[in-house]
């Protein structure tokens, strides 16, 4: 199965936030499921199970809280890389338009060097 990532910065932010929310909800559901199963098996230990479940929920919330800034930073870095890529493409296009013969000569020389390296 192939996952398609969003290309806009808002789409990436929403995708990242949605992924974090789904992971957090999934972890909470797993904790509830384990607590429910353990609760059925051992009714005498209910206070301990509730305490452990509460601690597990707090741990999941802490991890989700710690992951959110990292995800925001990655989103920001992705935006910077996208902007740099667009700027580089624009600069290259302008250079080729201004110096078409020099651009062709550079391309031929680069192709020749690469063919020599690959052999």
pLDDT in tens, the chain (119 residues): 455 545 555 665 666 777 777 877 887 777 777 766 655 555 666 677 778 788 888 888 888 888 888 888 888 888 899 999 999 999 999 999 999 999 999 999 999 999 999 98
Q: Is residue 30 part of a domain?
A: yes
Which residue carries 């051992």 as its tokens?
Answer: 42
Q: Is residue 62 part of a domain?
A: yes
pLDDT at 115: 94
Q: Is residue 26 part of a domain?
A: yes
Q: Is residue 66 part of a domain?
A: yes
pLDDT at 60: 84
Whether the CB-CB separation of 6 and 72 falls below 8 Å is answered with: no
Q: What DSSP designation does 44 have?
A: T
Residue 93's domain comprises 10-118
Please list the helix, strand and coil fractions of the chain in percent, rounded to the nearest 5, in that order. Answer: 90, 0, 10
Q: Is residue 5 part of a domain?
A: no
Q: Is residue 1 part of a domain?
A: no
pLDDT at 7: 55
pLDDT at 68: 83
Which residue carries 């580089």 as its tokens?
Answer: 88
The structural domain count of the chain equals 1
Q: Is residue 60 part of a domain?
A: yes
The full length of the chain comes to: 119
Q: Is residue 4 part of a domain?
A: no
């Amino acid at each position: 199965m192939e996952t398609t990532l969003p290309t806009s910065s808002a789409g990436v932010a929403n995708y990242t936030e949605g992924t974090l929310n789904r992971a957090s909800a999934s972890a909470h559901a797993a904790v509830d499921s384990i607590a429910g199963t353990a609760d059925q098996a051992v009714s005498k230990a209910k206070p301990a199970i509730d305490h452990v479940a509460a601690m597990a929920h707090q741990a999941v919330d802490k991890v989700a809280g710690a992951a959110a800034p990292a995800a925001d930073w990655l989103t920001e870095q992705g935006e910077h890389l996208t902007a740099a890529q667009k700027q580089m493409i624009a600069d290259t296009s302008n250079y080729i338009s201004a110096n078409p013969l020099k651009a062709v000569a550079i391309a031929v020389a680069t192709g020749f060097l690469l063919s020599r390296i690959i052999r």
